[in-house]
A = this chain, B = another copy of it.
Amino acid sequence: MILEGVIKDAYLESIKKVRKGDKEEEVEAIKNKILSAKRIIVATNNQKKFKIIKNIMLKFVKDAEIKMTDIDTSFADLTRMPAIFKALMAVDVENGDIYIARGRLGIPGSGAMLVILDNKGRILTASLSPPSSIHKEKIEKRIEKEIIEALNRVGIK
């Protein structure tokens, strides 16, 4: 079923107050949306971060074209949800089937979020990391973990 139908059914359940949490077919719809992406936009202008995400994505979505944004997304850091706003900026200025962004979760000090949006800017999945001053790992290693975890949690492994 296409995403719109899946979402409408869930909304109707919520309205009728019979909603019982995520269903297998909903997770399946997200999984398919990601795995069938022909064009993936990574909302970063950092080559190193782009390559890490690209390499992991290519393991699952072999034929996809994977592109980085060519505008500065750091303005998103002055919003309340930098990672999500970074991804939305990419939705607004590029054409893709899914969009991947990595940035701050909330206020300064709140750590990182990697988020995957679809072509309408809807949140498909995400993952979080603690602030770098707490995890003390290399950022490349963290981003790799984040993209793998974001995919894993909707059954892509």
Contact = CB atoms under 8 A, between A and B. Distances in A.
Interface of A: 3, 6-7, 9-11, 14-15, 17, 19, 21-30, 74-75, 77-78, 80-81, 84, 104-111, 113, 121-134, 139, 152-155
**Main secondary structure on A side of the interface with B:** mixed
A78 B131 CA distance: 31
Given A15-B78, A19-B74, A27-B131, A125 B154 contact: no
B23 A109 contact: yes
Contact of A124 (B26, B110, B129, B152): B110
Copies of this chain present: 2
Nearest to A125: B110
Contact of A22 (B17, B24, B75, B110): B110
Given A80-B122, A81-B123, A122-B80, A130 B108 contact: no
A77 B12 CA distance: 10
Contact of A109 (B26, B74, B81, B111): B26
Contact of A154 (B77, B109, B123, B132): B109
Nearest to A26: B109
A4 to B, nearest CB: 10
B134 A106 contact: no
Contacts of A127: 128
A134 B17 contact: no
